[in-house]
């Protein structure tokens, strides 16, 4: 059976669609916070969480006792909670003597356990009887067929066949299948962690796996006839179709079935999904893999395992296909039901042994007898448990009599009311928590217009919107005349960076973007080498001379110029030694941000090519460097580029005949890539380096206008990127700057500062109305969020007029750091005690260096708000490190373009971070990655728990929990925009992704209109308004009596 | 001037959200298509409203159009391949008859 092209493409498409609900998993080197339910954002939040719960089997709200604790701690708006309950109760029919609101409040605030549980067997009559203390009514006309719909729902549909088989026969295929798949993944995707690597990986996931699986003697001997399955078709699509058809799944259910299969090991699925999408990822290019191959492998193993079990003693009669299972449900209902009860562990304990024995016997008469007995037992059991739980509430609200007097119909209503309430309960708690958070925020905001300044601030400082900036900004503002702003941590300049001493590019921008410009980091050997191009040329020249230390690694050159020279064979030994030294003392560096002109590019390329040719001669002919002269190299270059026919100097030196000479030239072209066509590509690559002047002006202008800083510039304008420090921490990147793709932000800061300090750039900005005075100097800087250290860069470029002020500046920064450490320390310490600022600062530093510390800092835990507006709005209040802050001045943004950019970038990133924390908190086992203590690094890109598990996604328990209880308070991001309502609405409407997030309640949106002094809240599809009291209003004077 | 030989082929214009570009191009590659053209920053209106094309910070939200010329026998397989995708996502495919002069470039 061979599939047509159309069918194959259709299967690929189905799997693509099926996988969309499962979130990406980025390799942990650049940990990206993301919403685990990102694939469901087109659904309203309330619905999406139910879907997420169904698919990933995770809790999507906290358990009730935790909410009750929050209520006690004053973190839940009790009034709002009661209001919701009253509303809910009001919609239901009144039952005589029953005050539904009281019942529900008692349930919410006084009861720990869930009251209503699902019961298939006990009927409402039964429960009602139990409540009244009466014996159960006789079981009439209960036939097994009543159980069929329930069994069909649980065992068919998109439930994988092997799961249903496990649930019916206790075969545990599911666990074994997961193990086999995980092992195959670990083997294939390894990125250098293991010593032995899987053969044939270049052929791709499925092909290489096939080879190994076909020859795996152990599996064969076990009876897993994988070869038979694989023999059906060469392609993964063909294998998939074969297995699905064998299992009897109708095609219209395939997509859902695939989703369930992929969701089983959602970490690995997410990783493969990400990897397939990351076309520039080295490992993906070397060893390609996609989800179709994963599904094919998984299904092959599944079918093989099922067949193997079916051949084992005691299992020869089991149903092995969906059709067979359906048949068993319809025609052998009693047996199927009892099996399901037994192997899914819902069996009434008292009857467990009897049921087991009966199932083993295969005697229809006995089966029926035991079935009826079981049903009776179960009824009793369920009715009593359920009745008890309801009675507890009745007692609490003192309405037992009323409850007992209800008719069965009314009692059923009561139960329905309770059940539906418990279903919606999570949302009620969540909204009440958010209401409290919103109230607290609105209590503290200040709407008075900014006071006019007499003189410009001493320093203006821009920080990333990250929540950790809020603390340091507050403290900095308190130690002097410092004005602070919030901006996305990459300062709006997306760039790729090749760091000094590294061989790969990193993207310093949100993952939603692909940077077009490349920046190189070079060392500045001496003062004259300020011109970076000279430095680069020099670097190329001294490529081999590692005694002086090449500035750029060979890998970087390989990257820049496309030479595949990761070959250690080309490198002298001392080079490696130098490489190791580099990390120990990072010299001051220079960033190359300007475009190369044609001549410079030519010159560089020529130098590189010459260097490569020299290496080639040395490698192939063993000539020492001293014996290779310039003429030789020049001739060879010209020959390789097709500009002259031969290379006589070399030929003579090595006594080569015409043939050998020609061969070497060809080798230079093919192997070493010195040819005309390739040169063209290399020139294009060099063209990526740097930013054109228009780009530089554009980025500086955009950044300044987006935060509303276009005049009254201070002497110092500091741009703080941020990053963290920790030891022995695979999650290190999670603590770094998300806006910079999980990296440190100081390079972006330095780049923007460099651009803004240029005279040409400032001249053009003046034409746009942004007048930066000559005595304003931009400085790139770094905020270490683990230690709160503030470091300034490139101080050697500061004009002499400013040197005088640097001491004062440094002192201010240090004071702010110390105050901030003092504020943060209590949250981190096991034994809190009062500390002065200096000791606190030292203690926090020590904490960062401790490699056994599983919690170097709390990171973005407890994030709750995002405020887009002037700093004046929140200047007077402490937000306790819980808010993202983006400066914004709507008066400078008449067309809302700047606001749109803030919404589409920073707001979306904040939402991702917020949702990641939310789900990792409400269910750390399923959505988070549990304790770091049990983590083992897998393949160098992820972690597993224990020796073999799914790739763990989300945040570890140490980030969001404190001693088992949530530290992060899970609620949806409360986003505030300071602008007139129509202005904000227009911006939101123009950005489809944000509009969807708002409409579907993924974020809570508030708009504060400073002109009208009104706050608007988006609730259930409409805007509620509320007048905010101005902070200038005097309290009413009390009348003295 | 050399003689121009006109050959009839089918043109597919595939409009979909930019975030699915990799999926669509891979599907075309697997179908054996020799090449395609991508037009970025496409704006348009569908049943869900108007999509604006200009976003600066987020490349995933914009629409794109992929133009590909294929021999007739590839049309149905490609459409069959895209069918599960379009069941869940916005976008359209237009099929038209066009002519090309260098047929060798379009057949694999």
Closest chain B residue to A252, measured at CA: B84
Looking at every residue in chain B, the average pLDDT score rounds to: 86
Which of A9, A16, A993 is nearest residue B80 as measured by Cβ atoms? Answer: A9
The two three-digit tokens of residue B10, written as one number: 């089918």
* Eight-state DSSP code of residue A905: I
Mean pLDDT of A655-680: 84
Q: Are A420 and A157 in contact (CB under 8 A)?
A: no
Q: Give the whole-angstrom CA distance, residue A898 versus residue A979.
A: 12
Q: Would you call B53 an interface residue with chain A, using a CB distance cutoff of 8 Å?
A: no
Nearest-CA distance A34 → chain B (Å) = 15
Radius of gyration of chain A (CA): 34
A423 by DSSP, 3-state: which? helix
Q: Are A984 and A903 in contact (CB under 8 A)?
A: no
What are A111-154's pLDDT values in tens digits?
Answer: 998 888 887 788 888 888 888 888 887 776 667 888 898 899 88
Residues of chain B in contact with residue A10, where contact means CB-CB under 8 angstroms, are 80-81, 83-84
- Which range of A499-508, A534-543, A703-712, B97-106 scores highest in mean pLDDT? It is A703-712
The pair phi, psi for residue A867, each rounded to 5°, is -115, 120
Structure confidence at residue B53 (pLDDT): 52
Query: Of A354, A18, A306, A72, which Cα lies nearest the Cα of A169?
Result: A306
Q: Do A513 and B58 touch (CB under 8 A)?
A: yes
Q: Are A191 and A939 in contact (CB under 8 A)?
A: yes
Q: Report the percent of chain A where pLDDT is more than 90.
A: 45
Number of helical H runs and strand E runs in chain B: 2, 6
Least confident range from A37-46, A542-551, A996-1005, B65-74: namely A542-551
Model confidence at A895: pLDDT above 90: yes
Q: Would you call A990 an interface residue with chain B, using a CB distance cutoff of 8 Å?
A: yes
**CA-angle at A785, arms to A62 and A450, nearest 5°:** 90
- Partner residues linked to B11 by β-bridges: B69, B96
- Partner residues linked to A885 by β-bridges: A867
Question: Chain B neighbours among A 230-259 (CB < 8 Å)?
Answer: 255
What are B30-44's pLDDT values in tens digits?
Answer: 999 999 999 988 888
Q: Are B30 and B82 in contact (CB under 8 A)?
A: no
Q: Would you call B72 an interface residue with chain A, using a CB distance cutoff of 8 Å?
A: no
What are A186-244's pLDDT values in tens digits?
Answer: 989 988 776 667 788 888 999 999 988 887 777 776 767 788 888 899 999 999 999 99
Question: Chain B neighbours among A 507-526 (CB < 8 Å)?
Answer: 510, 512-514
Structure confidence at residue A321 (pLDDT): 92
Q: Do A991 and B22 touch (CB under 8 A)?
A: no
Which of B56, B58, B81 is nearest residue A12 as measured by Cβ atoms? Answer: B81
Q: Do A255 and B84 touch (CB under 8 A)?
A: yes
Which comes out higher in pLDDT, residue A634 or A974? A974
Specify the residue for token string 């937000």: A879
Least confident range from A277-286, A338-347, A790-799: namely A277-286
User: Which residues are within 8 A (CB) of A626 and not within 5 positions of it... i.e. 6 or more apart?
Assistant: none
User: Which residues are within 8 A (CB) of A63 and not within 5 positions of it... i.e. 6 or more apart?
Assistant: none
Residues of chain B in contact with residue A992, where contact means CB-CB under 8 angstroms, are 49, 51-52, 61
Structure confidence at residue B102 (pLDDT): 86
Pairing of strands B44-46, B49-51: antiparallel
Structure confidence at residue A1037 (pLDDT): 34
Q: Would you call A677 an interface residue with chain B, using a CB distance cutoff of 8 Å?
A: no
Residues of chain B in contact with residue A514, where contact means CB-CB under 8 angstroms, are 59
- Give which of A5, A257, A993 to mutate to test B binding, by max B Cβ within 10 Å: A5
Q: Give the whole-angstrom CA distance, residue A850 versus residue A787.
A: 12
Q: Are A883 and A752 in contact (CB under 8 A)?
A: no
Q: Give the whole-angstrom CA distance, residue A862 versus residue A70.
A: 14
The two three-digit tokens of residue A984, written as one number: 């904000």
**A to B CB pairs, distance under 8 Å:** 82
Q: Do A992 and B51 touch (CB under 8 A)?
A: yes
Q: Give the whole-angstrom CA distance, residue A492 versus residue B39.
A: 25
Nearest-CA distance A685 → chain B (Å) = 21
Model confidence at A646: pLDDT above 60: yes
Q: Do A10 and B87 touch (CB under 8 A)?
A: no
Nearest-CA distance A43 → chain B (Å) = 13
The two three-digit tokens of residue A69, written as one number: 């604790």
Q: Give the whole-angstrom CA distance, residue A818 versus residue A839.
A: 9
Specify the residue for token string 């209401």: A435
Nearest-CA distance B38 → chain A (Å) = 17
pLDDT band, residue A561 (cuts 50/70/90): low
Q: Please report which helix (H) or strand (E) contains residue A78, including its range.
A: helix A78-91
Nearest-CA distance B56 → chain A (Å) = 7
Model confidence at A1039: pLDDT above 70: no
Q: Are A553 and A575 in contact (CB under 8 A)?
A: no
Q: Would you call B29 an interface residue with chain A, using a CB distance cutoff of 8 Å?
A: no
Query: Of A509, A491, A483, which Cα lies nearest the Cα of A704?
Result: A491
pLDDT band, residue A86 (cuts 50/70/90): very high
Model confidence at A536: pLDDT above 70: no
pLDDT band, residue A531 (cuts 50/70/90): very low
User: Which residues are within 8 A (CB) of B11 and not within 5 positions of it... i.e. 6 or more apart?
Assistant: B67, B68, B69, B94, B95, B96, B97, B98
Residues of chain B in contact with residue A14, where contact means CB-CB under 8 angstroms, are 84
- Give which of B84, B89, B108 to mutate to test A binding, by max A Cβ within 10 Å: B84
Residues of chain A in contact with residue B60, where contact means CB-CB under 8 angstroms, are 512, 993
Residues of chain A in contact with residue B49, where contact means CB-CB under 8 angstroms, are 992
Q: Would you call A289 an interface residue with chain B, using a CB distance cutoff of 8 Å?
A: no
Q: Do A992 and B61 touch (CB under 8 A)?
A: yes
Model confidence at A495: pLDDT above 60: yes
Q: Do B31 and A12 touch (CB under 8 A)?
A: no
Mean pLDDT of A565-583: 46
Closest chain A residue to B24, measured at CA: A13
Q: Please state whether A677 falls in left (phi above 0), alpha (psi between -120 and 50) or beta.
A: alpha
Q: Would you call A602 an interface residue with chain B, using a CB distance cutoff of 8 Å?
A: no
Residues of chain A in contact with residue B56, where contact means CB-CB under 8 angstroms, are 901, 904-905
What are A322-371's pLDDT values in tens digits?
Answer: 999 999 999 989 999 999 999 988 888 888 899 989 888 878 888 889 99
What are A812-862's pLDDT values in tens digits?
Answer: 999 999 999 888 888 887 555 677 888 888 888 777 777 677 677 888 999
Query: Of A727, A747, A786, which Cα lies nearest the Cα of A466?
Result: A786
Q: Is the pTM of this model over 0.90?
A: no
Structure confidence at residue A562 (pLDDT): 58
Looking at every residue in chain A, the average pLDDT score rounds to: 85
Q: Give the whole-angstrom CA distance, residue A468 versus residue A464.
A: 9
Nearest-CA distance B57 → chain A (Å) = 5
Model confidence at A256: pLDDT above 90: yes
Nearest-CA distance B67 → chain A (Å) = 18
């Amino acid at each position: 059976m061979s599939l047509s092209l159309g069918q194959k493409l259709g299967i690929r498409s189905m799997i693509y669609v099926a996988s969309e609900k499962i979130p990406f998993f980025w390799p942990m080197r650049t940990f990206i916070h993301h919403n685990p339910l990102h694939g469901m954002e087109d659904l309203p939040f309330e619905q999406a969480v139910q879907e997420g719960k169904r698919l990933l089997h995770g809790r999507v709200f906290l358990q009730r006792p935790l909410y009750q604790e929050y209520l006690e701690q004053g973190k839940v708006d009790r009034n709002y909670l009661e209001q919701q309950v009253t509303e809910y109760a009001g919609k239901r029919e009144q039952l005589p003597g029953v005050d539904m609101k009281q019942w529900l409040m008692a349930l919410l605030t006084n009861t720990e356990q869930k009251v209503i549980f699902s019961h298939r067997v006990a009927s409402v009559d039964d429960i009602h009887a139990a409540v009244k203390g009466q014996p159960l009514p006789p079981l009439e006309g209960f036939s097994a067929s009543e159980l069929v719909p329930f069994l069909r729902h649980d065992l068919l549909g998109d439930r994988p066949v092997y799961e249903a088989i496990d649930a019916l026969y206790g075969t545990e295929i599911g666990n074994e299948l997961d193990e086999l798949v995980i092992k195959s993944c670990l083997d294939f995707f390894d990125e250098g962690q293991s010593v032995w690597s899987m053969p044939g990986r270049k052929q791709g996931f499925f092909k290489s796996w096939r080879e190994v699986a076909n020859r795996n003697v152990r599996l064969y001997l076990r009876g897993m006839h994988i070869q038979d399955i694989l023999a059906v078709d060469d392609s993964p699509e063909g294998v998939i179709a074969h297995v699905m058809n064998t299992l009897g799944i109708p095609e219209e259910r395939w997509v859902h079935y695939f989703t369930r299969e992929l969701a089983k090991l959602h970490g690995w699925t997410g990783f493969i999904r990400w990897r397939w999408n990351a076309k520039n990822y080295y490992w993906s290019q070397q060893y390609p893999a996609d989800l179709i191959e994963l599904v094919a492998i998984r299904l092959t193993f599944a079918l093989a395992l099922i067949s193997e079990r079916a051949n084992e003693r005691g299992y020869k009669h089991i149903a092995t296909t969906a059709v067979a299972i359906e048949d068993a449900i319809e025609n052998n209902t009693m047996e199927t039901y009892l099996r399901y009860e037994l192997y899914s562990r819902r069996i009434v304990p008292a009857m467990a042994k009897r049921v087991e024995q009966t199932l083993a016997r295969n005697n229809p008469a006995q089966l029926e007898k035991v079935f009826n007995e079981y049903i009776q037992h179960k009824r009793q059991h369920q009715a009593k448990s359920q009745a008890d739980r309801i009675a507890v509430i009745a007692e609490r609200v003192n309405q037992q009599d009323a409850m007992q007097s209800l008719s069965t119909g009314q009692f059923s209503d009561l139960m329905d009311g309770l059940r539906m309430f418990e279903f919606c309960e999570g949302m009620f708690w969540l909204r009440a928590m958010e209401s409290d958070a919103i109230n607290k925020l609105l209590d503290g905001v200040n709407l008075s217009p900014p006071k006019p300044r007499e003189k410009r601030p001493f320093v203006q400082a821009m920080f990333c919107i990250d929540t950790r900036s809020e603390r340091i900004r507050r403290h900095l503002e308190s130690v002097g005349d410092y004005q602070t702003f919030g901006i996305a941590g990459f300062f709006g300049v997306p760039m790729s960076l090749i760091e000094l001493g590294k061989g790969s590019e990193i993207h310093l921008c949100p993952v939603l973007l692909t940077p077009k410009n490349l920046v190189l980091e070079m060392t500045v050997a001496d003062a004259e080498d300020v011109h970076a191009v000279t430095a680069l040329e020099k670097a190329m020249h001294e490529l081999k001379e590692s005694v002086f230390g090449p500035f750029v690694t060979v890998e970087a050159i390989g990257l820049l110029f496309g030479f595949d020279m990761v070959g250690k064979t080309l490198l002298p030994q001392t080079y490696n030694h130098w490489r190791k030294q580099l990390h120990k003392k990072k010299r001051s560096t220079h960033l190359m941000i300007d475009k190369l002109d044609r001549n410079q590019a030519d010159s560089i390329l020529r130098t590189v090519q010459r260097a490569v040719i020299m290496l080639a001669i040395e490698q192939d002919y063993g000539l020492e460097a001293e014996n290779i002269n310039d003429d030789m190299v020049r001739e060879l270059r010209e020959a390789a580029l097709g500009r002259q026919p031969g290379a006589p100097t070399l030929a003579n030196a090595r006594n080569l005949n015409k043939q050998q000479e020609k061969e070497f030239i060809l080798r230079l072209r093919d192997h070493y890539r010195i040819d005309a066509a390739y040169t063209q590509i290399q020139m294009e690559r060099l063209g990526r380096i740097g930013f054109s002047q228009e780009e530089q002006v554009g980025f500086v202008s955009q950044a300044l206008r987006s935060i509303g800083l276009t005049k009254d510039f201070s002497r110092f304008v500091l741009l703080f990127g941020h990053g963290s420090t920790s030891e022995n921490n695979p999650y290190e990147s999670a603590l770094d700057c998300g806006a910079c793709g999980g990296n440190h932000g100081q390079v972006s800061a330095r780049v923007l500062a460099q651009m803004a300090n240029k005279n040409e750039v400032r001249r053009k900005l003046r034409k746009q109305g942004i007048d930066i005075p000559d005595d304003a100097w931009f400085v790139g800087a770094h905020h270490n969020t683990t230690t709160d250290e503030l470091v300034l860069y490139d101080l050697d470029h500061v004009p002499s007029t400013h040197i005088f002020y640097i001491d004062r500046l440094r002192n201010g920064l240090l004071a702010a750091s110390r105050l901030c450490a003092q504020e943060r320390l209590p949250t981190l310490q096991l034994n809190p005690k009062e500390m002065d600022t200096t000791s606190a600062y030292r203690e926090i530093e020590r904490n960062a260096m401790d490699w056994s510390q599983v919690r170097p800092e709390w990171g973005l835990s407890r994030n709750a708000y995002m405020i887009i507006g002037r700093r004046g709005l929140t200047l007077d209040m402490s937000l306790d490190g819980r808010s993202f802050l983006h400066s914004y001045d709507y008066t400078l943004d008449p067309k809302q373009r700047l606001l749109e950019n803030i919404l589409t970038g920073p707001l979306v990133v904040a939402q991702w971070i917020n949702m990641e924390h939310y789900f990792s908190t409400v269910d750390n086992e399923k959505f988070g990655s549990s304790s770091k203590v049990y983590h083992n690094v897998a393949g160098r890109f992820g972690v597993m728990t224990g020796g073999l598990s799914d790739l763990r996604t989300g945040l570890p328990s140490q980030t969001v929990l404190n001693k088992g209880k949530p530290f992060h308070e899970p609620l949806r991001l409360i986003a505030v925009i300071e602008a007139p309502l129509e202005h904000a609405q227009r911006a939101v409407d123009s950005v489809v992704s944000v509009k969807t997030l708002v409409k579907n309640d993924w974020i809570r949106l508030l708009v504060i209109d400073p002109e009208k002094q009104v706050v608007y809240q988006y609730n259930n599809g409409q805007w509620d308004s509320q007048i905010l009291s101005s902070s200038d209003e005097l309290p009413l004077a009390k009348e003295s009596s | 001037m050399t003689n121009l030989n006109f050959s009839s082929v089918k043109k597919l214009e595939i409009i979909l959200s930019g975030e699915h570009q990799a999926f669509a191009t891979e599907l075309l590659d697997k179908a054996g298509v020799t090449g395609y053209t991508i037009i970025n920053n496409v704006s348009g209106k569908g049943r869900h409203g108007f999509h604006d094309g200009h976003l600066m910070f987020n490349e995933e939200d914009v629409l794109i159009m992929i133009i590909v010329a294929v021999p007739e026998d590839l049309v149905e397989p490609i459409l069959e391949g895209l069918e599960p995708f379009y069941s869940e996502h916005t976008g359209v495919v237009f099929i038209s008859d066009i002519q090309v002069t260098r047929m060798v470039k379009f057949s694999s």
